[in-house]
Amino acid sequence: METIQGDKLRGHLEEMVLSTLERGEAHGLEILHRLEEAGCGLLRLKEGSLYPALYRLEAAGAVKAAWESEPHGRRGARRRIYQLTPKGQRRLDAGRVEWRQFVRVLGGILGAPA
Amino acid sequence: MNESTLTRLKILVERAVRPVRAGTARKRKMREELLAHVVGVFEEEDARLGDERAALERTALRFGNPAEVTSRLQESVPAGDRIARFFEGRPGEAALWVPIRVACWASAWELVGVCAVLFLADWVTLLPREAMIIFGWVFLAPSVYFFGVAFLTDWIEKGVYDPAGVSRRRVALSAAGSLLFMLLFVAGAVWSAWPAGSDHLGLGALPFAGMLAACAVGLAWNLAHWNAPRRRYHEEWGRLPIEIPS
């Protein structure tokens, strides 16, 4: 099966990130690993694009982040640990409802019901 | 990981972050977080491939096109960040520009305020000359004060944080200069009462000027102290060559 990447992912990345944070707090690289695991290795994200999505979610109040207390051996660079907020949970729940409708409608049109 | 590899990872991050138009604090957050990410990715790839050069190439591939990342980062910068950028100034510039910008902004608003109060209320013809002068001075005083703080900040920054080391003479001159400036400042505020009020000048103005001088030195010191690590940080990242070799 072909990998899913680029334009097909745009517009859904933020909800996917919120979904991974539902499992618990994580830093950016861990979020990517969870996405890869959940996507069974078929997702190809440009990793640099994850952080702008996280910053938009943080500005919208859907996630909150805190710096870890020390770099843990990484040369002078600390990670930020992200957590889902109640507002983010509501946005995720709304996103899931919207996605199910999207899949149902498009599935009906394409003749590929969910 | 050696220093050369870390520098190459920093260059990868800086290619994406430097073109972003955002305040210093926001860009610093981007740099540190992206650097932590690419260091983590490099360590994963190095452990998998066993070859640093190949791991660096895979890290760059996984990170994505820097121009695309720049564009996405720019979209994530809120519109309100412009205010922070205005007061913070350009990366690496001297601390004195912060109070100068504040002084210019305060002056512009004071001018609008004075004109609005005087002309809308039609007070121009009603107030005596001395009252007009005092009124104008009260409104202009914060701007004059901040301009003085600006130059004081520059002297203190150069005296304390110069790469050549601390210059006590310069710091002492800055403090003395501040006291003299504040004395002139206070004298300017009460000149219309001279010579009749000259007794009051000695009793009240000197301690008041001393207090203003102490506040100015404290404010300038904190500004210089705030700016020094900021300038070093910008110099460190600004030196990185981000142009992609052809």
pLDDT digits (tens, 9 = 90+) for A93-109: 999 999 898 888 888 88
CA atoms of B193 and B134, how far apart (whole Å): 10
Residue A53 near residue A62, CB atoms below 8 Å: no
What single DSSP character describes residue B240?
S
Q: Is B232 on the interface with A (CB under 8 A)?
A: no
How large is the ipTM?
A: 0.85
Residue whose C-alpha is closest to residue A79's, from A87, A70, A88:
A70
Instruction: List Cβ neighbours of B183 (8 Å cut-off, separation of 6 or more).
Output: B205, B206, B209, B213
Q: Which residue of B has its CA nearest to A52?
A: B73
Instruction: Collect contacts of B147-151 with beta carbons under 8 A, ≥24 apart.
Output: B147/B99, B147/B100, B147/B103, B148/B178, B148/B181, B148/B182, B148/B185, B148/B216, B149/B99, B149/B216, B149/B219, B149/B220, B149/B223, B150/B96, B150/B97, B150/B98, B150/B99, B150/B100, B150/B103, B151/B96
Give the pLDDT of residue B142. Answer: 72
- pLDDT confidence bin for B141, thresholds 50/70/90: confident
Query: DSSP class of residue B96?
Result: T
Q: Is B140 exposed, middle or buried (0-12, 13-18, 19+ CB in 10 A)?
A: middle
Residue B18 sits at the chain A interface (C-beta within 8 Å): no
What global pTM score does this model have? 0.71
Which of the given ranges, A62-66, B119-123, B158-162, has the highest pLDDT on average?
A62-66
B63 in contact with A, Cβ within 8 Å: yes
A49 contacts B76? CB cut-off 8 A: no
